Protein backbone atom coordinates (compact mmCIF):
# COMPACT_ATOMS: atom_id res chain seq x y z
CA UNK A 1 0.00 0.00 0.00
CA UNK A 2 2.78 2.43 0.97
CA UNK A 3 4.61 1.62 -2.28
CA UNK A 4 1.49 2.32 -4.33
CA UNK A 5 0.95 5.63 -2.55
CA UNK A 6 4.57 6.62 -3.13
CA UNK A 7 4.29 5.72 -6.81
CA UNK A 8 1.09 7.76 -7.10
CA UNK A 9 2.70 10.80 -5.46
CA UNK A 10 5.67 10.48 -7.82
CA UNK A 11 3.38 10.29 -10.87
CA UNK A 12 1.40 13.32 -9.73
CA UNK A 13 4.61 15.26 -9.11
CA UNK A 14 5.95 14.45 -12.58
CA UNK A 15 2.61 15.46 -14.15
CA UNK A 16 2.65 18.74 -12.26
CA UNK A 17 6.19 19.43 -13.42
CA UNK A 18 5.26 18.68 -17.02
CA UNK A 19 2.18 20.92 -17.06
CA UNK A 20 4.02 24.27 -17.09
CA UNK A 21 6.15 23.11 -20.01
CA UNK A 22 3.05 21.94 -21.90
CA UNK A 23 1.28 25.21 -21.14
CA UNK A 24 4.27 27.22 -22.39
CA UNK A 25 4.40 25.15 -25.58
CA UNK A 26 0.71 25.78 -26.23
CA UNK A 27 1.01 29.46 -25.36
CA UNK A 28 3.76 29.85 -27.95
CA UNK A 29 1.91 27.90 -30.62
CA UNK A 30 2.45 28.06 -33.50
CA UNK A 31 6.20 28.53 -33.74
CA UNK A 32 6.68 27.02 -37.21
CA UNK A 33 4.64 26.45 -40.39
CA UNK A 34 1.48 24.36 -40.12
CA UNK A 35 1.13 21.29 -42.35
CA UNK A 36 -2.27 20.73 -43.94
CA UNK A 37 -2.50 17.39 -45.75
CA UNK A 38 -4.85 17.19 -48.74
CA UNK A 39 -6.28 13.80 -49.60
CA UNK A 40 -6.53 14.67 -53.30
CA UNK A 41 -4.45 16.38 -55.95
CA UNK A 42 -3.35 20.01 -56.02
CA UNK A 43 -6.05 22.18 -57.58
CA UNK A 44 -8.89 20.07 -56.20
CA UNK A 45 -11.65 21.24 -53.89
CA UNK A 46 -9.78 20.55 -50.63
CA UNK A 47 -6.79 22.50 -51.90
CA UNK A 48 -8.81 25.52 -52.99
CA UNK A 49 -11.01 25.71 -49.87
CA UNK A 50 -7.92 25.97 -47.66
CA UNK A 51 -6.03 28.31 -49.99
CA UNK A 52 -8.90 30.81 -49.77
CA UNK A 53 -8.33 30.96 -45.99
CA UNK A 54 -4.53 30.76 -46.01
CA UNK A 55 -3.91 34.50 -45.87
CA UNK A 56 -6.37 34.98 -43.01
CA UNK A 57 -4.83 32.15 -40.97
CA UNK A 58 -1.29 33.41 -41.64
CA UNK A 59 -2.32 36.84 -40.34
CA UNK A 60 -4.06 35.49 -37.23
CA UNK A 61 -1.58 32.73 -36.34
CA UNK A 62 1.66 34.27 -37.56
CA UNK A 63 2.75 31.20 -39.54
CA UNK A 64 2.25 30.04 -43.13
CA UNK A 65 0.38 26.89 -44.14
CA UNK A 66 2.21 24.14 -46.00
CA UNK A 67 -0.26 22.23 -48.19
CA UNK A 68 0.82 18.62 -48.62
CA UNK A 69 -1.13 16.67 -51.30
CA UNK A 70 -1.27 12.92 -50.61
CA UNK A 71 -3.90 11.55 -52.98
CA UNK A 72 -5.18 8.01 -53.05
CA UNK A 73 -7.89 5.67 -51.76
CA UNK A 74 -10.59 8.33 -51.66
CA UNK A 75 -8.58 10.49 -49.29
CA UNK A 76 -7.69 7.66 -46.92
CA UNK A 77 -3.98 7.78 -47.80
CA UNK A 78 -3.77 11.37 -46.57
CA UNK A 79 -6.07 10.70 -43.61
CA UNK A 80 -3.95 7.79 -42.38
CA UNK A 81 -0.79 9.86 -42.78
CA UNK A 82 -2.12 12.55 -40.46
CA UNK A 83 -3.68 10.06 -38.04
CA UNK A 84 -0.19 8.59 -37.60
CA UNK A 85 1.49 12.01 -37.34
CA UNK A 86 2.50 13.62 -34.04
CA UNK A 87 -0.34 15.34 -32.22
CA UNK A 88 1.80 18.41 -31.69
CA UNK A 89 -0.49 21.01 -33.22
CA UNK A 90 1.36 21.16 -36.53
CA UNK A 91 -0.45 18.45 -38.49
CA UNK A 92 -3.97 18.83 -39.89
CA UNK A 93 -6.08 17.02 -42.48
CA UNK A 94 -8.67 18.50 -44.82
CA UNK A 95 -11.34 15.86 -44.39
CA UNK A 96 -14.63 15.34 -46.19
CA UNK A 97 -17.64 13.15 -46.70
CA UNK A 98 -15.48 10.41 -48.21
CA UNK A 99 -13.06 10.04 -45.30
CA UNK A 100 -15.43 10.63 -42.37
CA UNK A 101 -18.91 9.99 -43.76
CA UNK A 102 -18.71 7.19 -46.32
CA UNK A 103 -15.26 5.71 -45.59
CA UNK A 104 -15.89 4.22 -42.14
CA UNK A 105 -18.49 1.88 -43.69
CA UNK A 106 -17.00 1.46 -47.16
CA UNK A 107 -13.50 0.42 -46.09
CA UNK A 108 -13.52 -2.95 -44.37
CA UNK A 109 -9.92 -3.09 -43.15
CA UNK A 110 -8.86 0.40 -42.19
CA UNK A 111 -5.79 0.52 -39.97
CA UNK A 112 -7.22 3.52 -38.11
CA UNK A 113 -10.59 4.86 -36.97
CA UNK A 114 -11.33 8.17 -38.76
CA UNK A 115 -13.70 9.49 -36.10
CA UNK A 116 -11.53 8.44 -33.16
CA UNK A 117 -8.05 9.07 -34.54
CA UNK A 118 -8.86 12.22 -36.57
CA UNK A 119 -11.47 14.20 -34.62
CA UNK A 120 -12.92 17.45 -35.85
CA UNK A 121 -11.41 20.92 -35.67
CA UNK A 122 -14.00 22.76 -37.79
CA UNK A 123 -16.46 22.16 -40.60
CA UNK A 124 -15.87 24.49 -43.53
CA UNK A 125 -18.49 24.11 -46.24
CA UNK A 126 -20.87 21.90 -48.18
CA UNK A 127 -21.72 21.79 -51.85
CA UNK A 128 -23.66 19.74 -54.35
CA UNK A 129 -22.10 17.39 -56.81
CA UNK A 130 -22.93 18.03 -60.44
CA UNK A 131 -23.49 15.60 -63.29
CA UNK A 132 -21.14 16.55 -66.11
CA UNK A 133 -20.42 15.31 -69.61
CA UNK A 134 -17.96 16.42 -72.28
CA UNK A 135 -18.55 19.92 -73.60
CA UNK A 136 -19.42 18.77 -77.12
CA UNK A 137 -21.42 15.74 -75.95
CA UNK A 138 -24.65 15.14 -77.88
CA UNK A 139 -26.42 14.69 -74.53
CA UNK A 140 -27.95 17.97 -73.45
CA UNK A 141 -30.15 16.72 -70.62
CA UNK A 142 -30.21 14.00 -68.00
CA UNK A 143 -33.08 12.31 -69.81
CA UNK A 144 -31.04 12.12 -73.03
CA UNK A 145 -28.03 10.72 -71.15
CA UNK A 146 -30.15 8.12 -69.36
CA UNK A 147 -31.75 7.02 -72.63
CA UNK A 148 -28.29 6.60 -74.19
CA UNK A 149 -26.98 4.62 -71.22
CA UNK A 150 -29.95 2.28 -71.22
CA UNK A 151 -29.46 1.65 -74.94
CA UNK A 152 -25.67 1.28 -74.56
CA UNK A 153 -24.96 -0.05 -71.04
CA UNK A 154 -21.44 -1.13 -71.99
CA UNK A 155 -20.57 2.57 -72.47
CA UNK A 156 -21.88 3.68 -69.06
CA UNK A 157 -18.46 4.61 -67.69
CA UNK A 158 -17.90 7.30 -65.07
CA UNK A 159 -14.82 8.77 -63.43
CA UNK A 160 -14.31 9.67 -59.79
CA UNK A 161 -11.72 11.31 -57.57
CA UNK A 162 -10.98 7.88 -56.13
CA UNK A 163 -12.63 4.83 -54.65
CA UNK A 164 -14.78 5.76 -51.68
CA UNK A 165 -15.29 9.40 -52.60
CA UNK A 166 -18.70 11.00 -52.96
CA UNK A 167 -18.12 11.08 -56.73
CA UNK A 168 -17.65 7.30 -56.68
CA UNK A 169 -20.77 6.64 -54.62
CA UNK A 170 -22.76 9.18 -56.65
CA UNK A 171 -21.95 7.31 -59.86
CA UNK A 172 -22.89 3.98 -58.31
CA UNK A 173 -26.17 5.36 -57.00
CA UNK A 174 -26.95 6.94 -60.37
CA UNK A 175 -26.67 3.53 -62.00
CA UNK A 176 -28.78 1.91 -59.31
CA UNK A 177 -31.50 4.52 -59.64
CA UNK A 178 -31.74 4.25 -63.44
CA UNK A 179 -31.42 0.45 -63.42
CA UNK A 180 -28.08 0.15 -65.25
CA UNK A 181 -24.80 -1.15 -63.84
CA UNK A 182 -22.32 1.67 -64.39
CA UNK A 183 -18.56 1.12 -64.70
CA UNK A 184 -16.40 3.00 -62.22
CA UNK A 185 -13.04 4.39 -63.37
CA UNK A 186 -11.20 5.84 -60.34
CA UNK A 187 -8.55 8.56 -60.62
CA UNK A 188 -6.17 10.04 -58.07
CA UNK A 189 -8.06 13.24 -57.36
CA UNK A 190 -10.74 15.52 -58.77
CA UNK A 191 -8.61 17.28 -61.38
CA UNK A 192 -7.64 14.11 -63.30
CA UNK A 193 -11.22 12.86 -63.01
CA UNK A 194 -12.46 16.05 -64.71
CA UNK A 195 -9.80 15.66 -67.40
CA UNK A 196 -11.04 12.14 -68.11
CA UNK A 197 -14.50 13.50 -68.93
CA UNK A 198 -13.10 16.34 -71.06
CA UNK A 199 -10.88 13.92 -72.99
CA UNK A 200 -13.68 11.45 -73.62
CA UNK A 201 -12.06 8.68 -71.56
CA UNK A 202 -15.35 8.23 -69.69
CA UNK A 203 -18.95 9.15 -70.43
CA UNK A 204 -19.74 11.22 -67.34
CA UNK A 205 -18.88 12.13 -63.77
CA UNK A 206 -20.84 13.32 -60.75
CA UNK A 207 -18.35 15.34 -58.77
CA UNK A 208 -18.01 18.48 -56.66
CA UNK A 209 -19.62 21.41 -58.44
CA UNK A 210 -16.74 23.89 -57.87
CA UNK A 211 -14.20 21.50 -59.37
CA UNK A 212 -15.77 21.73 -62.83
CA UNK A 213 -17.11 25.29 -62.66
CA UNK A 214 -14.45 26.96 -64.81
CA UNK A 215 -14.45 24.18 -67.40
CA UNK A 216 -18.24 24.38 -67.64
CA UNK A 217 -18.11 28.15 -68.13
CA UNK A 218 -15.43 27.67 -70.81
CA UNK A 219 -17.53 25.08 -72.64
CA UNK A 220 -15.10 22.20 -72.07
CA UNK A 221 -17.66 20.43 -69.89
CA UNK A 222 -21.46 20.54 -69.83
CA UNK A 223 -23.33 20.46 -66.52
CA UNK A 224 -26.67 18.65 -66.66
CA UNK A 225 -27.94 18.55 -63.06
CA UNK A 226 -27.03 18.84 -59.37
CA UNK A 227 -27.02 15.90 -56.99
CA UNK A 228 -28.93 17.49 -54.11
CA UNK A 229 -32.67 17.00 -53.74
CA UNK A 230 -33.27 20.71 -54.34
CA UNK A 231 -31.63 23.11 -56.79
CA UNK A 232 -28.45 24.71 -55.46
CA UNK A 233 -28.48 28.42 -54.60
CA UNK A 234 -25.09 28.79 -56.31
CA UNK A 235 -26.40 27.25 -59.57
CA UNK A 236 -30.16 27.83 -59.67
CA UNK A 237 -30.28 27.31 -63.43
CA UNK A 238 -29.44 23.61 -63.07
CA UNK A 239 -32.22 21.14 -62.26
CA UNK A 240 -31.74 18.44 -59.65
CA UNK A 241 -31.37 14.83 -60.70
CA UNK A 242 -34.67 14.14 -58.99
CA UNK A 243 -36.35 16.82 -61.09
CA UNK A 244 -34.96 15.05 -64.16
CA UNK A 245 -36.57 11.77 -63.21
CA UNK A 246 -33.81 10.06 -61.21
CA UNK A 247 -35.67 8.98 -58.05
CA UNK A 248 -34.46 9.21 -54.45
CA UNK A 249 -31.16 10.96 -55.23
CA UNK A 250 -29.79 13.42 -52.66
CA UNK A 251 -26.01 13.74 -52.24
CA UNK A 252 -24.10 16.73 -50.87
CA UNK A 253 -20.36 16.89 -50.23
CA UNK A 254 -18.94 18.57 -47.14
CA UNK A 255 -15.41 19.51 -46.07
CA UNK A 256 -13.66 20.39 -42.85
CA UNK A 257 -10.45 20.22 -40.85
CA UNK A 258 -9.36 17.44 -38.50
CA UNK A 259 -6.23 16.74 -36.45
CA UNK A 260 -4.56 13.79 -34.69
CA UNK A 261 -6.41 12.76 -31.55
CA UNK A 262 -3.41 13.60 -29.33
CA UNK A 263 -3.41 17.26 -30.40
CA UNK A 264 -3.81 19.44 -27.25
CA UNK A 265 -7.37 20.60 -26.83
CA UNK A 266 -6.46 24.30 -26.49
CA UNK A 267 -4.83 24.13 -29.93
CA UNK A 268 -7.90 22.40 -31.41
CA UNK A 269 -10.14 25.07 -29.93
CA UNK A 270 -7.92 27.92 -31.13
CA UNK A 271 -7.66 26.63 -34.69
CA UNK A 272 -11.38 25.84 -34.76
CA UNK A 273 -12.24 29.33 -33.55
CA UNK A 274 -10.03 30.94 -36.21
CA UNK A 275 -11.60 28.88 -39.01
CA UNK A 276 -15.17 29.54 -37.85
CA UNK A 277 -14.42 33.25 -37.47
CA UNK A 278 -12.97 33.43 -40.99
CA UNK A 279 -16.03 31.80 -42.54
CA UNK A 280 -18.38 34.12 -40.69
CA UNK A 281 -16.58 37.05 -42.32
CA UNK A 282 -18.82 38.16 -45.24
CA UNK A 283 -15.82 38.59 -47.53
CA UNK A 284 -14.54 35.04 -47.11
CA UNK A 285 -18.05 33.62 -47.16
CA UNK A 286 -18.61 35.32 -50.51
CA UNK A 287 -15.37 33.90 -51.91
CA UNK A 288 -16.56 30.42 -50.97
CA UNK A 289 -19.91 31.04 -52.66
CA UNK A 290 -18.20 32.34 -55.78
CA UNK A 291 -16.29 29.07 -55.86
CA UNK A 292 -19.59 27.19 -55.59
CA UNK A 293 -19.41 26.16 -51.92
CA UNK A 294 -21.80 27.19 -49.15
CA UNK A 295 -19.90 28.11 -45.95
CA UNK A 296 -21.29 26.09 -43.02
CA UNK A 297 -18.83 26.57 -40.17
CA UNK A 298 -19.02 24.41 -37.06
CA UNK A 299 -16.64 24.25 -34.10
CA UNK A 300 -14.89 21.08 -32.87
CA UNK A 301 -17.62 19.52 -30.71
CA UNK A 302 -20.42 20.33 -33.15
CA UNK A 303 -18.38 19.01 -36.07
CA UNK A 304 -17.71 15.73 -34.27
CA UNK A 305 -21.45 15.28 -33.65
CA UNK A 306 -22.20 16.10 -37.29
CA UNK A 307 -19.70 13.51 -38.55
CA UNK A 308 -21.12 10.78 -36.31
CA UNK A 309 -24.55 11.52 -37.72
CA UNK A 310 -23.20 11.37 -41.28
CA UNK A 311 -21.70 7.91 -40.72
CA UNK A 312 -25.08 6.70 -39.43
CA UNK A 313 -26.80 8.26 -42.45
CA UNK A 314 -24.45 6.84 -45.08
CA UNK A 315 -23.95 3.34 -43.68
CA UNK A 316 -27.22 1.93 -45.08
CA UNK A 317 -26.69 3.76 -48.38
CA UNK A 318 -23.23 2.28 -48.82
CA UNK A 319 -24.53 -1.21 -48.04
CA UNK A 320 -27.46 -0.80 -50.41
CA UNK A 321 -25.11 0.30 -53.20
CA UNK A 322 -23.05 -2.88 -52.83
CA UNK A 323 -19.84 -0.84 -52.87
CA UNK A 324 -17.03 -1.93 -50.56
CA UNK A 325 -13.25 -1.81 -50.40
CA UNK A 326 -11.25 -4.56 -48.71
22-68 per-position pLDDT tens digit:
454 467 899 999 999 999 888 888 999 999 999 999 999 999 999 99
Q: Which of the two residues, 11 and 160, has the higher pLDDT score?
A: 160
What tens digit of pLDDT does each residue of 63-97 get?
999 999 998 887 899 999 999 999 999 999 999 99
Instruction: Using the predicted structure, report yes or no on whether residue 19 has a pLDDT greater than 50.
Output: no
State residue 148's pLDDT score: 98
Global pTM reads: 0.76
Instruction: Using the predicted structure, report yes or no on whether residue 196 has a pLDDT greater than 50.
Output: yes
Domains and CATH numbers, the chain: 32-126+253-321 (3.40.190.150), 128-251 (3.40.190.10)
State residue 5's pLDDT score: 53
State residue 15's pLDDT score: 46
Q: How many residues does the chain have?
A: 326
CB 185, CB 201: distance < 8 Å: yes
User: Could you give the CA distance from residue 196 to residue 218 in angstroms, rounded to a whole number?
Assistant: 16
Instruction: Using the predicted structure, report yes or no on whether residue 258 has a pLDDT greater than 70.
Output: yes
Amino acid sequence: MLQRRAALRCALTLSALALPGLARAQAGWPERPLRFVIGGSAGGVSDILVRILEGRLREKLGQPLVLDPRPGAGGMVGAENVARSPGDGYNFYINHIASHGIGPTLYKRLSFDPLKDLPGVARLAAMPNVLIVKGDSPHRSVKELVAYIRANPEKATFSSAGTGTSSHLSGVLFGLRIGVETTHVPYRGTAPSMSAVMNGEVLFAIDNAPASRQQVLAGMLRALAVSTAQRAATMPELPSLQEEGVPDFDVASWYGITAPAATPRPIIERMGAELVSALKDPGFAQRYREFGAEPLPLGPAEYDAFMRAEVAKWAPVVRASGASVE
